[in-house]
Structure 1
Amino acid sequence: MSNDRSPAPTVLIAVATFNEIDNLPLLVAEILEAVPDADILVVDDDSPDGTGRWCQEFAATESRLSCLHRSRGAGLGTAVIAAMRYAVEQEYDLMVNLDADFSHTPQKIVDLLAVAKTSDVDVAVGSRYVPSGGVYGWPLHRRLMSRGINLYTRVLLRLPVRDCSGSFRCYRVATLARLDFDQIISKGYSFFEEILWRLRLAGATFREVPYVYVERERGYSKINWREAVKALYLIARLGLGSIFGSAPRQSAQ
């Protein structure tokens, strides 16, 4: 009797880090327990607190962990692009991106993978803004700001998801391979809106998976008002540029 079952999809879990030594060892342990068949890639931007050094030392004893070391200040968006390029080059089937600060619970990776493995969607989007999703630990002004930015993004970029700014997602790598990463202009947090926009233009399909965002307990957030203003400006450039046929195509910001 022949076995016609297809092999299980290969999965890469990508984590971008800068000064996350208080979180990364615990996070890697929980990811390995939650998804033991997956590999982990840490993209570290020369963290002065030893995050990259710890990763390199642990990777020497754990075959499922790999590290990419980059220069400091290169930007979160370019770190995720580096992970996407790695996933394409190594021919993974799925790539999950999550933050290093436990705002995305590693156990919820299973929910994203369940959708990606059992459907034809190209991006399973971890969503705070669908039923059963939510945010824990944010003050009211931050909740309102996030809701406003997501509405602004949905309208300008015509995205079919409610949570456009979150980074907790599972991407089908074959779909990522259709993109020209050199056209992506965002280096910072607005990358997460821009990549959805470019995937939509490439014909990708999306499904939102509820999760509850939990504010970090250790370390400090890297986002600031300057980064938020840059994101709003970039989203406007992309949205209005596509309407008038002049969307930016060169690296900027």
Structure 2
Amino acid sequence: MPPPIPSGNEFEIIIIDDGSPDGTQEIAQQLIKIYGSDKILLRPRAKKLGLGTAYIHGMKHATGNFIIIMDADLSHHPKFIPKFIRTQKESNFDIVSGTRYKGNGGVHGWDLKRKLISRGANFLTQVLLRPGASDLTGSFRLYRKEVLQKLMEKCVSKGYVFQMEMIVRARQLGYSIGEVPISFVDRVYGESKLGGNEIVSFLKGLLTLFATT
């Protein structure tokens, strides 16, 4: 069902699917029949074209002033959305970012090795980039639409580093960032791969950001 949006807020749910074989589009079509095409917008693409281009594709179809980006596999639970909205309104933030590393935030479903890698990566980013935000690699965030558009024009990174650069560039441009503690739950179906290639790519991207920001 659509996420619990506080009353008085108009919303639309835009689903970007890059040809995934997990039945996302079929489920989206069922939701459209139930809630209507004005609330559920399915905007598929033929193949994987990258996270950044998915953001741009989604923005083209967004009609609101604010955009919340989250994973559709419920790794990001929609129950946190009302807190994102309240936090933005209370302090008029440009960005509200979900954090696994603050307050009662956390991660469920990862083994000890994955947790240590994640904590170590986050520690390195804090030391080298000093971003003023506690979780740089998460993607559960609320943006003002015009802020997201500006950041997309500035960011050049790919993969895990893309999310980091979004926050670093936001600080450079003087945008305000609030945080909401969230619980991240690893996907039940499919795999979340984090191998040697991903780690090397992350370190290269981190050093590039350190040298250029």
The TM tier, using the shorter chain, reads 0.7 to 0.9
Distance 1:94 1:66 in 2: 16
1:199 is matched with which residue?
170
Aligned length: 208
Which of residues 12, 34, 42 in structure 1 aligns to 2:4?
34
1:213 is matched with which residue?
184
2:28 is matched with which residue?
55
Give the secondary-structure state (helix, strand or coil) at the position aligned to 1:124: strand
Question: Which structure features the higher share of helix residues?
Answer: 2
2:55 is matched with which residue?
80
188-197 or 42-51: which moved more? 42-51
For the Cα contact (< 8 Å) 1:41–1:67, is it kept in 2? yes
1:231 is matched with which residue?
202
1:134 is matched with which residue?
106
1:103 is matched with which residue?
75
Q: Percent identity?
A: 38
Which of residues 12, 19, 28 in structure 2 aligns to 1:46?
19
Give the secondary-structure state (helix, strand or coil) at the position aligned to 1:34: coil
List gaps (5 residues or longer) in structure 1: 1-28, 243-253
How far off is 1:40 after superposition?
0.4
- Kindly provide the amino acid, as one letter, of the partner of residue 203 in structure 2: L
The answer to which structure, 1 or 2, has the higher relative contact order (CA under 8 A, 6+ apart) is 2
List gaps (5 residues or longer) in structure 2: none
- Kindly provide the amino acid, as one letter, of the partner of residue 67 in structure 1: L
For the Cα contact (< 8 Å) 1:78–1:187, is it kept in 2? no
Distance 2:24 2:196 in 1: 26
For the Cα contact (< 8 Å) 1:77–1:189, is it kept in 2? no
How far off is 1:48 after superposition?
3.4
How far off is 1:170 after superposition?
1.0
1:111-152 Cα shifts (integer Å, max 9, x gaps): 111111222211111111112111222211111111111122
Distance 2:129 2:192 in 1: 26
- Structure-2 change in CA distance of 1:33 and 1:148 (3 Å): closer
Q: TM-score, normalised by structure 1?
A: 0.73
Q: TM-score, normalised by structure 2?
A: 0.86
